[in-house]
Amino acid sequence: MRTLERGRRHESLEKSIASIAFAYGFSAPPVQVSRKAVSSVKHDDPKTAVALAVMKQQTAKGKPVQVWGGARTGRGMTLTFGTVGTRAAIGNALIVKTALSIAELAGFDSPAVSVSSIGDAESKRRFTRELGNFFKKNHDVVPEDLKARALHDPDAVYRELLQRKDALIERAPRTIDYLSESSRKTMLETLSLFESVGIPYSIDARMHGEQAIHSELIFGIDATERDGTKTRIAVGGRFNDTARKSFGIDSDTATALSLSLPRDVDLDAVDREPACYVVHVGEAARLKAFTLLEALWRAHIAVTQTLMAESFKEQIDLGKLSGAKYLAIIGQREALDNTIIIRNTATQLQVTLPADKLEAYVSRTR
C-alpha cells in the first residue's frame, strides 16, 4: 500500500474519516471499544470481533439507525460501520461506500469490493447437504487429516480447505448456487443498487463469511500489497439469530463491515454543523442523493443525510435539527431533471439549480 495519507488537504486523517462517515449518515459520535471488550467477544477474527463489540453498544429500537466505532487491534485500528433496523439495500451501500472511501483515502492501493451470499437458513441447509454429498463422492481426494471431519462437519472442512487454498475447493459447491428465492432476491437487489450508485464490485463465490454469525449477504474489500498480492482489508455481513442471542445484538437486521488500518488513529466526531443536509423523496431521488455525497465531502463541504428514512417530514425536521444552513431537496421531478432545490433554513428562501452546481453554490455562500 501507499504511505498512509494525512487526509484531504490539511485535514488530519482522523478528521477526514469523521467527515466521510458523517456524509454517509454515520452522524452519531463513534463508539470507542476497548481491547478488553474486543477480547471478551472471544472470536478468532479481529475484524469480526470488533464488529460484534461495536454493534453490541447499539441500543436504539424501532427505527433504522447507523452506528460506527472501532478498536485498536495490534498496531493499527479496526473501524466498523453498521446499520440496525433495516433490510433495505441502501444500508448495505452506505456501509460499503464509507469503508471503500476511507480505504482509498488511507492510501490502500486499488481497493476493490467483493460480494457473496451464504443465504438464509434454507439456503444454508441446501448448501451443507450438497457439500456433504460432494465430500462423500470425493472422499479419496480429501486430505487425510480431514477425512473423518468431512463426513460429519462438511462446513468446517470447507472452511479449512479455503484457508489452505486446496485444489479440491475449485470443484466444491458454492453457496451462491444454493440460495433460496428470497436470498437470491436480496442479493440481486443490493447488486442492482451498487450498480445504480456507482459502487464497482465483483462476485467472490468462495467468500464464505462466518457461518456461525452471518446470514445472507457478505462483503469484503481487497487491496494490493507492494509485492502485487492482494489482502482482505475489510470483511462483514448481516448478523443472524445466533449472533443476536450469543452476543446481545438486538436485531436480526444488523449488518456491519469492519476495515483494518495499519496504524493507530483516534476516532473523532465531526465538530461542526453541516453546511448542507440532503433530503430525498422517492427511490430515484434517493439514488441521486447518494451520488451527490462524494462530490460534496471531497470538496470539503460538511454534508449529511438520512437516506434510510422514508418520511419527507422526518428528513426536513432532522435537517433543521442538524443546524445545516441549507437543505438540498431532491424529489421525483428533480431526480428526472437532474436538478436540486436549495432551501436556506434561516430565511426559507429556495432556488432550483442543476445538480452539478450544488457544490459551487454551497461553497460560495457558506
Name the residue with cell 428533480.
334
At 4 the pLDDT is: 47
At 226 the pLDDT is: 67
- Better-scored residue on pLDDT, 211 or 176: 176
* pLDDT (average), residues 45-63: 80
For residue 324, name the pLDDT band (cuts at 50, 70, 90).
very high
Nearest Cα neighbor of 250 from 95, 64, 85 is 85
CB atoms within 10 A of CB 250: 14
- CATH class of the structural domain 13-119+180-261: alpha beta
At 61 the pLDDT is: 65
* pLDDT (average), residues 92-109: 94
For residue 7, name the pLDDT band (cuts at 50, 70, 90).
very low
Is residue 40 scored above 70 in pLDDT?
Answer: yes
* pLDDT (average), residues 247-265: 82
- Better-scored residue on pLDDT, 65 or 366: 65
For residue 60, name the pLDDT band (cuts at 50, 70, 90).
low
In what order do the strands lie in the sheet containing 276-280? 303-305, 276-280, 326-330, 339-344, 350-354
Is residue 180 scored above 60 in pLDDT?
Answer: yes
Q: How far apart are CA 28 and CA 115, in angstroms?
A: 27
Which of 165-174, 249-258, 336-345 is the least confident region? 249-258
Residues of the chain with CATH 3.40.50.800: 276-365
For residue 154, name the pLDDT band (cuts at 50, 70, 90).
very high
Architecture in CATH of 276-365: 3-Layer(aba) Sandwich (3.40)
pLDDT above 70: percentage of residues in the chain = 92
Residues of the chain with CATH 3.30.930.10: 13-119+180-261
At 62 the pLDDT is: 64
For 338-352, write each residue's pLDDT tens digit. Answer: 999 999 999 999 999
At 252 the pLDDT is: 66
